Amino acid sequence: MKGKIIVAGIVIVAALIFGMVSFVESNIEYVDFSKAEHIAKKVQVKGKWNKDKESVFNAEKSQFSFYMVDDNNRECKVVLDGAKPNNFELATEIVVKGKLQDGYFHASEILTKCPSKYEGDGEAVKKTI
């Protein structure tokens, strides 16, 4: 009977440790490009697409690259292994997830925030009040 309790306790402790380690590793923090240079793990950087510089899709390598300016006005080249996200041209903000290495940001995922078609004109709402 005591053996079963000890084994159950060990299983519970192991599951808790595994859960804590998984949570810490999956926790991706928001940083800017300057901080991303000094962090070895995956991070998120929020910013805007620099439309003045070229964005390119390389079909041979299946890579999409563009330039992004973070919230502190630092510009960095972003390279995504994959195709350009849908509605990329309409995005008002972009969040890239990945690591900054070799002078550019290696993105594993890109999230775009597009203007909502349901947002109304603020002035029109004020006139009705």
Indicate the pTM of the whole model. Answer: 0.69
What is the residue type of 28?
I
In a domain, 78, yes or no: yes
Residue 91 included in any domain: yes
Question: Structure tokens of 53?
Answer: 């510089």
Structural domain includes residue 124: no
pLDDT of 126 reads 54
Can you give the pLDDT of all 129 residues of the chain as single tens digits? 688 888 888 989 988 888 887 776 666 778 888 888 888 888 999 999 998 998 899 888 889 999 999 999 999 999 998 888 888 888 889 999 999 988 899 999 999 887 766 655 556 545 555
Domain that holds residue 51: 29-113
The reply to whether 127 falls in a domain is no
Phi/psi for 127 (5° steps) reads: -70, -25
7 within domain boundaries: no
Q: What is the DSSP code string of the chain?
A: -HHHHHHHHHHHHHHHHHHHHHHHHH---EE-HHHHTT--S-EEEEEEE-TTS--EEETTTTEEEEEEEETTS-EEEEEEESPPPTTGGG-SEEEEEEEEETTEEEEEEEEEE---TTPPPHHHHHHH-
Q: Looking at residue 17, what is its pLDDT?
A: 87
Domain membership flag for residue 71:
yes
Residue of 57, 58, 62 whose CA lies nearest to 88: 57
Neighbours of 64 (CB within 10 A): 20
The CATH number given to whatever domain includes residue 63 is: 2.40.50.140
Give the chain's domain count.
1
